[in-house]
Amino acid sequence: MTDWTDSDTFAAALNRAETKQKGNCFEDFAEGETIEHSPGLELSRHGSELWAGQTLNYDPAYWRPSVAEERGFGEVPVHPDYLLACVMGASVEDLSEKGGYFLGRDDLRYHRPGVEPGTELRVESVVESKAESSSRPAYGIVTWETTGYDAATGERLLSYTRTNMIPRREPLATDGAGEGGTATESESADAEASSASADADLPEELLAPEGGHFEDFREALDRAEGRDAAVAYRHERGRTVDDTTVAQLPLSTLNTAKQHHNGDVMADSPSGEIVAYGDVTRSIALGHARSDERTAREVACGDERFHDFVTVGDTIYGFTRALDARETDRDGAGEVTFEHVAFNQRDEPVYSGTRTALIRKRN
């Protein structure tokens, strides 16, 4: 009788057995196709608190009923970054579980402020475009528009477009040119020269707002007006990425991308180990920025890019540039647009994106 667990027999069995595939390759997506994702989870207060706690997002409106009520929320809503991760999480199995880099996201919109725990999600994506990658023949580049709905009412909660590199089933035939690899010496020399001259490109003065209210951003932007100055500052906090942030947070939002939990597969990838989910990196940087502002509501994000891998042991810091501050007809708040950059302990940017939020005024 065959001993299937004999090591040679088992190795042969593994070699011959078909692997039941999960996820989709580049070839599986058709432009214009609509993909209805499996239902995903019911938003929970526990999940929201886990996400917000681990990413240092401590705005009490997402923790305490009395503060939520003061801010005009019916009950304590789930944190917007957790909502985003849950919408994206439900889409990963169909869109990006095969692996490949999360390159960026555009046009993130929060359609309903204050989404309550207990809301069941329905998530849908449309394949917006597909392109070959000229630098990486083993991958293609796919952009989807994803929308998360309240399953009970059909109301849109959040939407965005995101772009990933997605493995091809069959790598493109190439002449070997442009396959990536390490930077040549002359490229490295160029990089050094450009870094040396980069400081010269910065405005003469980098100004920080006095406080975190709308008026503080308006006043700092007014001060910078007409001068060689920008409103740009860094945040003191850092968060070292650990097993919880790398694997637990994405898995708790049903994100099955192997990059975050399968060290065996990732040992053969460019990072050599598991990497942080882009939305964890982003959420930590936004948490640092929000800790230095009086946020009333998240409005939108755009031009989000993931510049480099984050692995366990890396520390994520935040840098913010205030771009604009506008009066609104909303009582007690004005609208501010920022650019946020997450960077690691080597001062290398790992994420950047713009964000518009309603910022409370001084009473």
Ligand X SMILES: CC(C)(COP(=O)(O)OP(=O)(O)OC[C@H]1O[C@@H](n2cnc3c(N)ncnc32)[C@H](O)[C@@H]1OP(=O)(O)O)[C@@H](O)C(=O)NCCC(=O)NCCSC(=O)C[C@H](O)C(=O)O
Buried b (16+ CB within 10 A) or exposed e, 263-281: eeebeebeeeebbbbbbbb
* Residue closer to ligand X (CB basis): 223 or 307: 307
Q: Tell me: does residue 134 bind ligand X (CB under 6 A).
A: yes
Q: At what angle do helices 80-95 and 278-290 cross, to 10 degrees?
A: 170
Query: Which of 192/205 has CB closer to ligand X?
Result: 192
Binding residue for ligand X (CB under 6 A) from 255, 283, 344, 356? 255
**Contact flag: residue 142 with ligand X (CB under 6 A):** no
Select the residue interacting with ligand X from 52, 56, 90, 141 (CB under 6 A): 141
Check residue 133 for interaction with ligand X (CB under 6 A). Answer: yes
Q: Is 356 in the site for ligand X (CB under 6 A)?
A: no
Cα separation of 14 and 289, whole Å?
A: 49
| Cα–Cα distance for residue pair 296/45, rounded to 1 Å | 19
Q: Which residue has the tokens 């518009």?
A: 356
Q: What are phi and psi of 240, to 5 degrees?
A: -80, 130
Of 156 and 305, which has the nearer Cβ to ligand X? 305
> Restricting to residues 209-228, which ones interact with ligand X according to CB under 6 A?
none
Contact pick of 37, 45, 79, 136 for ligand X (by CB under 6 A): 136
C-alpha to C-alpha distance for 263 and 45, rounded to whole angstroms: 30
CB 260 within 8 A of CB 245: no
Smallest separation, CB 270 to ligand X (Å): 7
The nearer residue to ligand X, 24 or 295, going by C-beta atoms, is 24
CA-nearest of 106, 201, 119 to 155 is 119
| Smallest separation, CB 260 to ligand X (Å) | 6
Q: Which residue has the tokens 């409106």?
A: 61
Q: What's the chain's Rg over C-alpha atoms?
A: 22
Q: Which stretch binds ligand X (CB under 6 A): 33-41, 42-50, 97-105, 219-227?
A: 97-105
- Determine if 103 is a binding residue for ligand X (CB under 6 A): yes
**Contact flag: residue 92 with ligand X (CB under 6 A):** yes
Among 62, 82, 102, 338, binds ligand X (CB under 6 A): 102
> What minimum distance in Å lies between the beta carbon of 163 and ligand X?
4
Greatest Cα pair distance in the chain = 86
Integer Cα distance of 102 and 252 in angstroms: 19
Q: Which is nearer to ligand X, 125 or 164 (CB)?
A: 164
Q: Does residue 259 belong to the site contacting ligand X (CB under 6 A)?
A: yes
Of residues 261 through 320, those in contact with ligand X by CB under 6 A are 275, 277-278, 305-309
Least CB distance to ligand X at residue 112 (A): 24
Contact between 323 and ligand X per CB under 6 A:
no
For residue 186, give the amino acid letter. Answer: S
Residue 257 as a binder of ligand X (CB under 6 A): the answer is yes
Q: Which residues contact 249 (CB under 8 A, 6 or more apart)?
A: 50, 51, 54, 55, 85, 277, 280
Binding site for ligand X (CB under 6 A): 92, 96, 101-104, 133-136, 141, 163-164, 255, 257, 259, 275, 277-278, 305-309
